[in-house]
A and B are shown apart, each in its own frame.
Chain A
Amino acid sequence: MALTDIAAAPAVRRPGLTTRLRRLVPWSVAFGMVWLGATLFVAVFADWLRPYSITQMDLMARLVPPLTPGHLLGTDELGRDVLSRLIQSVQVSFVIAFGATILSAVFGTTLGFLAARFRGLAEHIVIMLADFQAALPFLIMSLAVLAFFGSSMVLLVALMGFYGWERYARIARGLAISAGAQGYAAAVVQLGGTPARVYLKHILPNVASTLIVSMTLTFPEIILMESGLSFLGLGVQPPETSLGNMIGFGREYLTTAPWIMLAPAVVISLTTLSISLVGDWLRDKLDPTIR
């Protein structure tokens, strides 16, 4: 029904720009876009935006509350500037989530294509992997791996890269099979194209939009997963900082300095909320076929 509103709008009277924008984008989605734009900006330019180094201690100003001159969001138990650490955390969390989302999309799409190409055994193996993943909550599996192999940034990204792959695998397999049955992929095979040409030059560009839309589902979930692990002390390790790890350490000062924990908590919640709102909206607009 939202679409008919938009379609009908210009016919009645040419409304002002703001009215048209508001019809085009609900206020919640607009808020999400603005917030995401701001966080992306912060993540990209973190090094320039940070007022202090994240490890710089100001022992004269420990546990200073927010809005103190020089420390907009206060300081932590070592006198480190919370705003600076927050900016750095946004960057770290985004880098991990981006890397992992791309890894998981590549991994899942590859498996989906393999299942579509070889069927039979390949499909059974993919189903078995998906069964395995469904049998261990991802957080618990990650805990075991990180605890025993030791946490590092590379391992963390690689591990998070296994999150949500089955979604891409399912989409890629289904779309590749339908393209191959009687469609353009079968036609290219019939022209003498190699499987690499069929899958990379033809099927991949055709399924890319659907895959990108489902990346908006995976991205916030990976942010939550990483911050959960970091909160439990098994994700990003000090002196590096991430949103979850700030909350984990801020928890100790919940009664005396709640701002240490509240600042990153608000950022995480608003970011994942914004991605969900914008992602839902995008999905309705671009690809109504996936839920």
Chain B
Amino acid sequence: MTLDVMPDVTRDTPRKAAPLLEADGLVRIYETRKGLFGQPVPVRAVNGVSLKVAQGETLGIVGESGSGKSTLGRMLLGVDPSQEGVVRFAGAPLPAAGTPAWRALRAHMQMVHQDPLAALDKRLTIADQIREPLDIHARGNRAERRARVAELMQAVGLRPDQAGRYPHELSGGQRQRVVIARALACGPSLLVCDEPVSALDVSIQAQVVNLLADMQAANGLAMVFISHDLKVVRNLADRVAVMYLGEIVEEGPVEAVFAAPQHPYTQALVSSVPAPGKRLDGRMILKGEPPNPAARPAGCAFHPRCPHAVASCRAEAPALVPTAAGRRAACHLVGGADRLAA
């Protein structure tokens, strides 16, 4: 089964060695107000994030709610503008959102949201909605579009007789399949998935995750998979980035990071995943308030909750520096040697 009937610009670009997606020093600041006329409070939702995604690679982004991972996802697609920093896709900076160039680029980079019911127009049949990107980007003639829709529906596991159904007539898992089929319609080279399964029944989640993995393998997609579910990320991702209060605190190959987390926050996250046969007393429980981006602590943002915090953590924010092969961490206490691993 091949989904790759559509032309793909990235295949033709000369800079094949360069990462498909490259973010450099992204900053996103929201202004919130206390009431309508209160003083605006700047909230740094994303605070200096740099990352790279290679073609065909899956990058997992994990973090608690409020860590800025969803905002980062939209910035990687150019939906939300960045105040500082730049996103390059296939070597070229993203055009401004809403411009014709930006719209044209949507054929190559797509998104899957958390809530498929909200993302679908309740007044159009699912076949119409899967066909919509083809209409927008003027792909093929009428018959070719119809064939492509049938192909996509089959690929994501929808029955042909469901083509005329409306979103409310489908189950949550089926709706998310529709959204995935729509996102893949034009044959994108990058897919950003923002919590794509967390609104679904647990029994359905695995199916949709497997579908995403299959689609990724079959189409050579690069994927950014945003989730708070570490197990899903571990199954799906090649590399993982851990976010805390708008910053990446640790990044590396997924198995290495989960097997031996370096940053205390990652350690806490990893130890919070229950596993059969694992004793609970070794778990590291996060104390203190969950992160509030409007009140970012000075120094290392994690220090109020960190069991190992020392004076320098309160004074100075640690930089994200290489720690081992292909790994980076942002912690004063993580040097070349793995001091905290014990």
Residues of A within 8 A of B (CB): 182-184, 186-195, 197, 202, 205-206
Contacts and interface: CB of A to CB of B under 8 A. Distances in A.
A191 B132 CA distance: 8
Interface in B71-111: 77, 79, 98, 103-107, 110-111
A170 to B, nearest CB: 18
Given A182-B118, A190-B79, A193-B136, A206 B103 contact: no
Contacts of A188: 121, 132
B119 A192 contact: no
A187 B136 contact: no
B104 A192 contact: yes
B336 to A, nearest CB: 43
Given A184-B122, A197-B136, A206-B123, A190 B110 contact: yes
A206 B124 CA distance: 10
A100 B170 CA distance: 41
B121 A184 contact: yes
Most chain A CB atoms below 10 A, which of B77, B106, B119, B124: B119
B122 A192 contact: no
A269 B261 CA distance: 78
Contacts of A202: 121, 124
A192 to B, nearest CB: 3
Given A182-B118, A184-B118, A187-B113, A192 B133 contact: yes
Contacts of B132: 188, 191, 193
Contacts, number: 51
A165 to B, nearest CB: 25
* Main secondary structure on A side of the interface with B: helix
A231 B111 CA distance: 60
Nearest to B105: A192
A187 B182 CA distance: 10
B106 A192 contact: yes
B120 A191 contact: no
Contacts of A193: 103, 132, 136
B64 interface: no
Contacts of A182: 113, 115, 118
Contacts of B106: 190-192
A206 B118 CA distance: 13
B231 interface: no
Given A182-B113, A182-B115, A192 B136 contact: yes
Contacts of B121: 184, 188, 202, 206
20 contacts: A184-B118, A184-B121, A187-B113, A187-B120, A188-B121, A190-B111, A191-B110, A191-B182, A192-B103, A192-B104, A192-B106, A192-B133, A192-B136, A192-B137, A193-B103, A193-B132, A193-B136, A194-B136, A195-B98, A197-B136
Contacts of B113: 182, 187
B167 to A, nearest CB: 9
Nearest to A203: B121
A184 B119 contact: yes
A83 B132 CA distance: 56
Nearest to B103: A192
A206 B77 contact: no
